[in-house]
Structure formats: C-alpha cells, structure tokens
Amino acid sequence: MAQLVVYAQQDHKIILNDNTNKVQLNQASIIQLAVGRDDVDSMVRSGNKLIITLKNGEKIVIDHYFTDIPDENQLVLSRGNSEYYEVNFDSKGQFQSYTDLVTPSSIESFPQLSTPQAAPVAEESTFSKSTLLKLGLGVLAAEGIYLAAFDDNKSSNKSSSAPDIVAPSLKSATLNTDGDTVTGAASEAGCIVYVVDTDGKVLGTTTADASGNYSVKLSEPLTDGNQGLIYVQDSAGNKSQPSLLQGSKDTIAPEAPVAQVSADGTAVSGTAESGSTITITDANGNVLGTGVATNGTYVINLKTPLESGQVVKVTAKDKAGNVSEASEAELGKDTTPPTKPLVEVNEEGTKLIGTAEANATVQILDSEGKVIATGTVDANGQFSIDLPTALTDKISNQVVIVDAAGNKSTAVTIKAGTDTIAPEKAADLKINADGNEVTGTAEPNSTVTIKDSSSKVIGSATADADGKFTVTLSTAVTDGKYCYITVADKSGNVSDSNSIQGNKDTIAPTVPKVPTVTDDVGAEKGTIENGGTTDDARPTFKGTGAEAGTILSIFDKGNNLIAQVTVDTDKTWTWTPSSDLALGEHNFTFVLTDASGNTSPESDVLKITIVAPQPETPPDETVPETESVPDTTDTDLVEPASIEPTLAKIVPLSLLEIATDQASEPDAENTLIYQDGTINTELLLENTTSGDLAIEQMIADNSSNSSSQTNNETAIQQSQIEAQVLTRSDLDQLIQSQQALF
C-alpha cells in the first residue's frame, strides 16, 4: 500500500502521514503520494474525488480534492528524494501533465515550523510556485521513508525507538542595517544556521551556541530591497521552514542630474532624484552652491556668476549618502539632454516610429553600440524610420535622441515588437443611469481598467477589434462621484486616465425640521407652540433647511396625507390649508422626497389643537335713561321679555359669588349688587383686571312680587356666560349703562 502524506498549506503542518488508500481533505493541502509517475495507470475525477489507479491495480481515493477554488489542492508524486512531479489537472478535473519539480536542493526541502519573529515567511510573489511547493517535500519524503522503514508488513528491521523527525525552529532572525550580518536564536542548541539568496546560493552559515543563539556573517550583503532566506537544520537533518530576510540599506547612487546654466550665469537649474542634495562645484572643486531637488527639480543661485565658457560640475546625493556621477554645465551652452523617446517597433522589426524632442536626431544602435540607422524628429515631435536590417525579438538594440547641442537622451532598448508608446486615453465615455456600466472607445484589443476614487479596481474589459468596450462595474458610481479609466496595450503601456461622473442620486434627504406655525386671526395672534392651541383653522406652516426642489409631504394622524408642497431654492417652504382644519387635536408629520424618489425619514410630530373662535363682544344696547319700561301688569314684576336680550352686566365671576353670598345680608362696602339692582362700581373696578372678566347675560326678576322671595331682594338669574377680554374703557361704558337692566 502506498504511503500518503498530507501537508496543510495554511500552517505548514503535516495533517496525515499513513499507509492508506483513502483520505478525505478538509483544507487546502499538498498531497504527496510515494509512487513514481511510471507507476500510475490513470487519474480520473469522480464528483469531488480524485481516483488514482496504479499499474499494480491498487486504487487511492482522495475525497474533496476538487473544490470550487481552482488549484486549491496539489498532488505531488515522489520516489524517495530523486523524483518530484506536480500533477496538473484542467478546470474539469481531467489530467493534463506533470511538472518536474527537480530534485530538491539544500534550500528546497524544508519541513514545517513556526515563523520566527522579525522574519516573515517567504511568499509566492518572491519565490516561484514550484520552489514553494518543494519546501515541504523534504520532510514529506523523510516521513514516507520513516513509514516504510517501520512498516510491520514490509520490514523485519524494527527499531526500539523512533528516529528524530521533529524539526528545529527559528525564534528570531534580524538582519543588521548594513545587511551583512544576521543574528537571532534557534530552538535547539548546536543546530546549523543557513542563509541563502533567492537562487539557493549559500551566503553564510554558522552553528547555534548552547543557548541556541547565533550570528551569521554574509559573504554578500543583502541591500537595496534584495531578499534572502534563513533556516536551521538539526543533526538529524530536519530543516526548519525558511524565513524571509530583506535588506533595506540603500547603496544605489542617484542618476547624474540634468543641469543647465542660466543665460546670465547666476544660477543652475535642472532635475534630479527627488529629495537629493545638489552640489555645484567649479573646475577646482570649490563649492559654488547647494540646494535640494524638491519634487525632482531644483534652482540654485551661485555665489559668484559664471564667466562665458566656464564649466561647472553638478552632483546629487541621496538621503543614504550615495553620490551620483557628475554632470557638466557650461555658461552659454545647452547641456540639457532630450527626454528619452517613446517608440514602437512593428512585429517584423522593419519599422520604428515614435515621439521625441522636435528637430532632434534619432540614432538606432546595435547590441555593440554601433549606429545602424538614423532619422530626424519632425517639428511636431514625431518620427518614422525604415530599418535597413530587420530587428529580431532575440537581440536587443537601442534608440538614442541627440539634440542640436549634442546632448543625448537616455537610451531605450528595442526589439522586434517593442512598444513603449502609451495608448490614447479612452474616449466617447458614457455611464448608464444606474452608474454600473461604462462604455467607450479605446485602442483596439487594449485592456480598459476602471478604478474608483480610492484607486480600487471596480471593473475591466478588453476593447474589441473596433476599439469599442463595455465595462460592468462591481460597485456603482453614483451621487456625483467619479470613476477613472485607463487603457493598457499588450506591451503594458498605460494611457493617461480619463474620468466620468455617475449622477444617479441614491442619497435620501435629511429628516425635515418641525416647522413654525403662525396664528393670524382672532384677538390672540403669533406663533403656535408645539402642543399648543389655536382658534385659527387655517394657520400658516413655514419650514427651513430642507433640500431644495424636493417634495414635502404633510401627514396628519399617521399616514393621512393632507398636502404636498415643493421646497424653494432657498430651502424653505410654506403651506396654508385651503380649507379649515377640523376642530380638535392634530398630529402633523413631514417627509421629503427628492427627484430620484429617495425618501427622508419621518420628522418629529407637531401637535396642534384647533378650537372654535370666541364670539365678538356684543354691542352696547343699554336702554336710555329717558325711556322707561312700561308697567304692563298689576304687579311690579319685570318680565324677561321687556329686557333687551343683548344687554349685559360685566362682573368678575369670583365677585359674582361674593354678591350672591351677601345678597341676604347686605354690606354696602363689600356688596357688589345692591337690593335696588345697582352695582357697586367702586368695588367692581378695584377687583377687575383686563383678561379676568366675564360677560354675564342676566335677567332681573322683581323678587318682591315672587312668592319665594322677600325683603324686596333682587334675584339674579344667569342665562349665558361667555369669556371675552375687555379693556378698562369698555368696562366703564358698560357700568355707566348698567342701571337700565333693573
């Protein structure tokens, strides 16, 4: 029975190590089967299972090998340490081919182990997939050999103790600033520490001391972002997982700056590495001026103006102290080289086109630097050159631009099919109403990429042969936001970006503010407070701070829509009911809806109670003193019909009670109504204030003729009481006419 070792890709641990013909996977794994590829008869997919049939008839079933994630699991066939083949399947699970992983070297066979501090695990972006795959195969092979050696069914040589198969680990690994020494600690004393570059070349080795500490001096420093690997190996040959080392020291000098002396010789300007320090010296090395190339450009005033023909040298020093080669600048001479050209060579290698400095000379150089063709840039900066000998895609040539002063541009390497000219920006851009689809035109067969304002890619597509494209966006561009479109040709040249705005409105208006309500009828006018009462059945509502152009819906008592108005450009709105609001309590709420149909949350409740208006003060219809009420009966009884019904006597309600209480025991000073029917006006005026009055519609009854009344007392009967505010002058006039009531 074949040995199977399953190695977890995520945490680099062995999750199965057995002689078995069936295994079920539950995570992304590397499966090593200890057979050679010549031992395999067939490999077929059955559902999510991989069924391997060997030529000896044995079947191995790997359940859940095929998943929705392509290449989530990898199968490797190995025979000892001499054969390693990765098995490749297509998207349908059909066998395609083997990939020869080559016999692992000292760096390529690492068992699992934990990641040390300050030493990240190597990633696939740094090392090839096959290299990473083989990192676990050494221990898998060792495990398989171990199982074979101690298989009861296959070996009579049994050992009383198992061999050491536990790998040591790196506790820490730190590369110094200069990148030439690595220090740290291993989990085991006496283990060997190896540092290698990404090609597996050993850069340094040492042995950990009794405490597991180590220090490795490297033969070649790791600098300028270059990477290496470190691992440890114990005496049994178990190796740790490799960890990444990356050199941060900057040892690369800036390019020589571009320098030009001003016409009057007082300053030097140009371009250089951004942030570098520029130093200008004369022929004797004397410093004439220094400065910083902020954002890659500089202008430096010289201590002493240059004379005609005088030459200065200009250098750039970066923050790490690396100094560039010197550029020369001369007063009265153009020393600014042309920018490097943008070029394109056809697939046949027979024609070169491009853009460069107008009227400059184009030189094509062979691999040895010999000029093999020339041309001239026209006044518009364009050139086209037919090559006398076709270029190939195997041999590199160069293009250089030379201006009239003899300054040469940076060389551009070319081959047949070389293209360094970026495509034109995308054109004819349109975005649909929902903001999730962009159409336009671009270079035929180019790739169109669309990013949002955070530079996140939200869509891409390939332009057809006519240059037309349609991109469906993963995230809609709405509410006035922009997306940015670039075009990349097959050579990887990227155009300048273009933008388009998504105008779909998906943002709802904010919650409306509760409006002010104004009462403008009756005696009491002004603002009605929330929860207040008004006798104005058509009060005026006025709101502020609403989104201009939105529709304000007014609801009463829940979902009862009673009106809609449009918010003005100054964000205000006004509404006055066209008909009277019903008497009683009203609970108004307000909702805004914009032109796109987005609806705001409902406002807070505005509560107002509508009451009936109070009647007007009745007119003064007191009977003149010169007139008397005729006696129409044989008694002194004054009939109610003889009294004008609109006449009234004005008294405070509180004093009316006092008068009633004192009617039987008259007290001139404290009595309001005397027995003869007159009113104590002095008492009335002393105790009456505006707003504390009542109209008493009273009918006098001559109680002296009533069988139930004695002592000629006047009985006052109240037939109607209505509240109304009166002024003091109104009160005086009514008092003056009160005698006519009796």
Report pLDDT digits (tens) over 261-271: 999 999 999 99
Q: Running DSSP on this structure, what letter comes out for residue 666? A: -
Instruction: Please state the φ and ψ torsions of residue 55, each to the nearest 5 degrees.
Output: -70, -20
Among 309-323, 597-611, 617-631, the minimum mean pLDDT is found in 617-631
Asked if 113 contacts 125 with a C-beta cutoff of 8 angstroms, the reply is no
Assigned CATH class of 516-610? mainly beta
> Which stretch of DSSP H or E encloses residue 734?
helix 728-736
Residues making up the chain, counted from first to last: 742
Q: Is the pLDDT of residue 351 over 60?
A: yes
- Gap between the Cα atoms of 22 and 26, Å rounded: 14
Query: What percentage of the chain reaches a pLDDT higher than 90?
Result: 54
Would residue 367 be called left, alpha or beta, if left means φ above 0 and alpha means ψ between -120 and 50 degrees?
Answer: alpha
Mean pLDDT along residues 245-249 = 92
| Residue of 136 and 148 predicted with greater confidence | 136
Look at residue 372 in the predicted model and tell me its pLDDT.
93
- Gap between the Cα atoms of 469 and 471, Å rounded: 7
Coil, strand or helix at 592: strand
> What is the per-residue DSSP string for 95-115?
EEEEEE-----TTT-----PP
Look at residue 200 in the predicted model and tell me its pLDDT.
83
Kindly indicate the confidence band of residue 158, based on its pLDDT and cuts at 50, 70 and 90.
very low
Look at residue 482 in the predicted model and tell me its pLDDT.
96
Kindly indicate the confidence band of residue 716, based on its pLDDT and cuts at 50, 70 and 90.
very low
pLDDT digits (tens, 9 = 90+) for 187-208: 999 999 999 998 888 999 999 9
Q: For the structural domain made of 342-414, what CATH number should be given?
A: 2.60.40.10
Mean pLDDT along residues 577-583 = 94
- Gap between the Cα atoms of 285 and 447, Å rounded: 53
Mean pLDDT along residues 234-239 = 86
pLDDT digits (tens, 9 = 90+) for 117-134: 333 444 444 444 444 444
Q: Is the pLDDT of residue 179 over 70?
A: yes
pLDDT digits (tens, 9 = 90+) for 56-102: 888 899 988 988 777 778 888 876 555 678 898 888 888 888 887 75
Kindly indicate the confidence band of residue 164, based on its pLDDT and cuts at 50, 70 and 90.
low
Q: Is the pLDDT of residue 645 over 80?
A: no
Domain extent listing, the chain: 3-149, 258-330, 342-414, 427-501, 516-610, 640-741
Q: Is the pLDDT of residue 540 over 50?
A: yes
Mean pLDDT along residues 561-579 = 96
Q: Which of 168-172, 334-338, 588-592 has the highest mean pLDDT?
A: 588-592
Dihedral angle computed from the Cα positions of residues 709, 715, 718 and 719, in that order, rounded to the nearest 10 degrees: 70
CATH for the 427-501 domain, from 1.10.10.10, 1.10.1060.10, 2.60.40.10, 2.40.50.140: 2.60.40.10
> Which stretch of DSSP H or E encloses residue 683?
helix 681-686
> What is the per-residue DSSP string for 338-390?
PPPPEEEE-TTS-EEEEE-STTPEEEEE-TTS-EEEEEE--TTSEEEEE-SS-
Query: What percentage of the chain reaches a pLDDT higher than 70?
Result: 73
Look at residue 343 in the predicted model and tell me its pLDDT.
95
Asked if 554 contacts 588 with a C-beta cutoff of 8 angstroms, the reply is yes
Q: Which of 245-249, 289-293, 558-562, 709-713 has the highest mean pLDDT?
A: 289-293
- Gap between the Cα atoms of 208 and 185, Å rounded: 7
Instruction: Please state the φ and ψ torsions of residue 127, each to the nearest 5 degrees.
Output: -120, 150
Would residue 156 be called left, alpha or beta, if left means φ above 0 and alpha means ψ between -120 and 50 degrees?
Answer: alpha
Look at residue 213 in the predicted model and tell me its pLDDT.
97
The neighbouring-strand residues paired with 400 are 363
Q: Is the pLDDT of residue 740 over 80?
A: no
The neighbouring-strand residues paired with 673 are 679
How is domain 258-330 classified at the architecture level of CATH? Sandwich (2.60)
Q: Running DSSP on this structure, what letter comes out for residue 393? A: S
Asked if 114 contacts 231 with a C-beta cutoff of 8 angstroms, the reply is no
Q: Is the pLDDT of residue 476 over 90?
A: yes
Look at residue 675 in the predicted model and tell me its pLDDT.
52
Look at residue 330 in the predicted model and tell me its pLDDT.
92
Give Cα separations from 202 to 105, 217, 240, 696 (angstroms): 11, 11, 16, 118
